[in-house]
Amino acid sequence: MNVDERLRLAIRNTSEVVTVEELRKVFEEKEKPRGYLGFEPSGLVHVGWLVWMFKVRDLVEAGVDFYLLEATWHAYINDKLGGSLELIRKAARYTRIVLDAIGVPEGRVKYVDAEELASDKDYWGLLLRAAKQVSLARVKRALTIMGRRVDEGETDFSKLIYPLMQVTDIFYLDLDIAVGGTDQRKAHMLTRDIAEKLGLKKPVAIHTPIITGLQGPGGRMGAGAEIDEIAAEAKMSKSKPETAIFVHEEAEAVEAKIMKAYCPPRITELNPVLEINKYLLFQQQGFTLVIERPEKYGGTITVEDYPTLERLYVEGRIHPLDLKKATASALNKLLDNVRRRISSDPDARSLLEELKTARVTR
Ligand SMILES: Nc1ncnc2c1ncn2[C@@H]1O[C@H](COP(=O)(O)OP(=O)(O)OP(=O)(O)O)[C@@H](O)[C@H]1O
Ligand SMILES: N[C@@H](Cc1ccc(O)cc1)C(=O)O
């Protein structure tokens, strides 16, 4: 694969790359650059996570030596799964199984866990050097990366350490590329600034789009909010199970959730049903959306690409109910593999049952 092809794979289905020129340089200079994404293993996996999982698949194919950081300590700080590290580790095991089922098997990526990193004194040395370069106000502003508002950071002191741990993870793993959803933007921009001040490697940041929660944006953001703040507030999230479609859910449950989802006629902005089409379904090679309708409502149509779907929807030529039905059926097909994998693997089944009964919400 030449540099252009690698770059094309890395960039597709992203919301932002900081910067594309730097990424090109990384690919020009390195056959196997080091990339990473961190996640809090803190419960069940929802379809929003598939966006980054597919991106990991792209980057591995583009030759990136990819690290998946199981952010166990981070999940603990963020009060996930009742703060039980044992359950958090189980959630990490469950996530590996889902990744395997969607085409990211263990042999193609390297897993590291936060406990491993934190057991090295050099990690804490790096963290303190990073902390010297940043004000308390800037750390507080970065709390959106843990799905928290600024004032929530003051409930206990560990929360203020979290953003600096995320920065340190990147330096410690000596990364060329840091990947995360748009809501992770502040961590990466902070890392890039600190890298310049300390003369450390400045990672390229790749941000993937966010799928809005099924209940829609809710309108809580004030004017002037930044894109990552809107994403953090409106996203489908496992801590708010009513906003999310989980990858293990039965086909009927998936359909019922989509039929109830926020999907105002003609509106594309923060519309989760359209986003599922844009960021997941139409990202599959050769995908077409078949919208079945009786003749009197225009008959069945097959939509070949996302821009056409969006245009027809904005023009009012596709009714939300028809869009929802077609989307549910296509998403169910996409999820079939994962469901089959989970139901045929006893370890996955027992982890799933345990995580279902655990208190995921914070
Ligand atoms: N709705 C979503 N759409 C796309 N990506 C998402 C979505 N939610 C989370 N991500 C991405 O998944 C990764 C892990 O995020 P995170 O652990 O915060 O997920 P979450 O389900 O929102 O969890 P929580 O509800 O516990 O905050 C991050 O890179 C984040 O950007
Ligand atoms: N902040 C990320 C998790 C994460 C933790 C540590 C990292 O180094 C990277 C990502 C989230 O909430 O999803």
CATH 1.10.10.10 fits 249-357, yes or no: no
What CA–CA distance (Å, rounded) separates 332 from 276? 12
Residue whose CA is closest, atom 12 of ligand 1? 49
If you classify domain 3-208 with CATH, what class do you get? Answer: alpha beta
pLDDT band at 220 (very low <50, low <70, confident <90, very high): low
Span 129-155, pLDDT tens digits: 999 999 999 999 999 999 988 888 788
All structural domains of the chain with their residue ranges = 3-208, 249-357
Name the residue with tokens 């496992």.
238
CA distance 170 to 68: 11
User: How many angstroms does the Cα of residue 146 sit away from the middle of ligand 2?
Assistant: 7
How far away, in angstroms, is 210 Cα from ligand 1 center? 8
Q: Tokens for 53?
A: 């999982």
List pLDDT tens digits, range 29-57. 999 999 999 999 989 999 999 999 999 99
Q: What is the ipTM of this complex?
A: 0.96
Distance from the CA of 105 to the center of ligand 1, in angstroms?
21
Among candidate residues 11, 43, 123, 49, the one with its CA nearest the CA of residue 352: 43
The closest residue, in CA terms, to atom 3 on ligand 2 is: 39
Q: Which among 96, 106, 186 has a CA at the least distance from the CA of 138?
A: 186
